[in-house]
């Protein structure tokens, strides 16, 4: 008997989040501050439920939109970066890299528990938040969860979670 696999994918124009960021790379370089109009897509795999779908499209879009809306119009800062120091002082966030320094209003920042604000790690961050939301609010754990983050047309990274 053949093995059946089902998946649903959601990518919509409203799953867009506009953010500033910069990354460190090659162990000793740091990009200039810039931004992207990121676009997210999510895909879940699993068996068909009693109502003959893997997961409700409407609920999946809603959960992902909550997450992308939370990041929208913020400066994304990686709190686990080994070469960029991020210090939350309360009213501001002080960021330093070698002799460079940035000071951001705290309300304009999202401090992400990741090593770098690359598309790959932003995708992982989104996936972790989505998985938590699906578990807590719907009692749903997919067999596979994929989140894609597109920085620009034709330039994206995908994170895949498999339990």
At residue 3, the pLDDT reads 78
Average pLDDT over residues 125-138: 98
pLDDT of residue 73: 98
Grade residue 1 by pLDDT with cuts at 50, 70 and 90.
low
Tell me the C-alpha distance between 86 and 73, whole Å. 19
Look at 19-28, 42-51, 113-122 and tell me which has the smallest mean pLDDT.
19-28
pLDDT tens figures, 64-112: 999 999 999 999 999 999 999 999 999 999 999 999 999 999 999 999 9
Considering only CA atoms, which of 92, 85, 89 is closest in space to residue 106? Answer: 92
Confidence class for position 26, pLDDT limits 50, 70, 90: confident
How far is residue 104's CA from residue 94's CA, in Å, rounded to a whole number?
Answer: 7
Q: Where are the alpha helices (DSSP H) in the chain?
A: 57-71, 119-138
| pLDDT > 70 in the chain, percent | 99
Average pLDDT, the chain: 94
Domains, the chain: 6-79+107-161 (3.30.479.10)
Q: Which residues contact 11 (CB under 8 A, 6 or more apart)?
A: 39, 40, 41, 42, 148
Q: 77 forms bridges with which residues in the sheet?
A: 111
pLDDT computed for residue 34 by the predictor: 93
């Amino acid at each position: 008997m053949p093995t059946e696999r089902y998946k649903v994918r959601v990518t919509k124009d409203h799953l867009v989040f506009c953010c500033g960021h910069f990354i460190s790379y090659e162990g000793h370089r740091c990009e200039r501050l810039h931004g992207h109009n990121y676009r997210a897509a999510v895909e879940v795999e699993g068996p068909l439920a009693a109502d003959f779908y893997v997961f409700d499209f409407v609920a999946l879009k809603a959960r992902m939109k909550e997450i992308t809306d939370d990041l929208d119009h913020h400066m994304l800062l990686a709190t686990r970066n080994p070469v960029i120091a991020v210090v939350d002082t309360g009213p501001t966030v002080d960021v330093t890299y070698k002799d460079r320094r940035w000071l951001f209003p705290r309300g304009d920042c999202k401090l992400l528990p990741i090593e770098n604000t690359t598309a790959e790690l932003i995708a992982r961050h989104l996936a972790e938040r989505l998985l938590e939301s699906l578990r807590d609010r719907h009692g749903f754990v997919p067999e596979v969860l994929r989140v894609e983050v597109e920085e620009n047309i034709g330039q994206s990274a995908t994170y895949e979670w498999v339990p």
